[in-house]
């Protein structure tokens, strides 16, 4: 059997050792929502600051294209806040002593961002909370005096806007995205007559 060439490594699958899904964990001051997407070979996360009875969003981060996430290996990430600030950093994710559904995450930003200090390691023990990497909340609005949209056929069944949020089509398996209802509200619309004169189309 020929000897293996120096430096050769067995090919690793994308997100090798990192089960896909959504994970959450906090260190008492901050909370990390970690998303592992095997299909896109990407890792992303949201960082929150904890406050009594709530959590305040601080920044979002994502692995840079071209780097394949693997367990225990530092991954270059780009983090951005809502003020337009952006910094690079390193995120390392590894199995947590073989505990099912638990991972360890170590995040270090290269500079400060929205109150998060730079050059400081933040350590989180995160727990798997869903198979879906992303949870999208959709709010439905209806208008008084206007009939709701009729049901349409989708994937062999009749679907209405409310029922579409509870139906998980096969594509959900590939996109790893789950839709959920964020509530609904009714809008009262009062029509006003148009002003006198001609009315041409315009932008804005």
Q: How far apart are CA 20 and CA 157, in angstroms?
A: 29
Query: Confidence band (pLDDT; 50, 70, 90) for 133?
Result: confident
Query: Where are the alpha helices (H) located in the chain, listed in sequence order?
Result: 161-164, 171-175
- The three-point CA angle 41-42-45 to 5° equals 155
3-state secondary structure of 153: strand
- The three-point CA angle 31-45-68 to 5° equals 140
What pLDDT sits at residue 174? 42
Q: How far apart are CA 155 and CA 175, in angstroms?
A: 16
| Whole-angstrom Cα Rg for the chain | 23
What are 62-73's pLDDT values in tens digits?
999 988 888 888
Q: Is the pLDDT of residue 176 over 80?
A: no
The more confident residue out of 181 and 164 is 164
pTM: 0.64
Report whether 67 contacts 14 (CB < 8 A): no
What are 73-112's pLDDT values in tens digits?
899 999 999 888 999 999 999 886 666 789 999 999 999 9
Query: Confidence band (pLDDT; 50, 70, 90) for 152?
Result: confident
Could you tell me what percent of the chain has a pLDDT over 90?
36
The domains of the chain, with CATH numbers, are 21-130 (2.40.160), 134-187 (no CATH)
């Amino acid at each position: 059997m020929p000897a293996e060439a120096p430096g050769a490594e067995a090919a690793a699958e994308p997100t090798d050792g990192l089960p896909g899904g959504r994970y959450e964990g906090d260190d008492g001051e901050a909370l990390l929502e970690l998303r592992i997407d095997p299909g896109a070979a990407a890792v992303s996360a949201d960082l929150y600051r904890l406050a009594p009875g709530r959590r305040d969003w601080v920044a979002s981060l994502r692995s840079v294209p071209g780097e394949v996430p693997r367990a225990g290996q530092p991954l270059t990430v780009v983090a951005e806040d809502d003020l337009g600030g952006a910094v690079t950093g390193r995120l390392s994710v590894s199995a947590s002593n073989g505990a099912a559904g638990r991972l360890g995450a170590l995040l270090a930003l290269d500079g400060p961002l929205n109150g998060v200090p730079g050059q400081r390691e933040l350590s989180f023990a995160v727990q798997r909370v869903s198979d879906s990497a992303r949870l999208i909340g959709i709010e439905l609005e209806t208008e008084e005096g206007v009939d709701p949209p009729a049901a349409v056929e989708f994937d062999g069944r009749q679907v209405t806007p409310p029922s579409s949020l509870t139906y998980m089509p096969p594509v959900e398996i590939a996109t790893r995205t789950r839709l959920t209802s964020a509530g609904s509200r009714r809008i009262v619309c009062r029509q006003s007559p148009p002003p006198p004169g001609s009315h041409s189309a315009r932008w804005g």
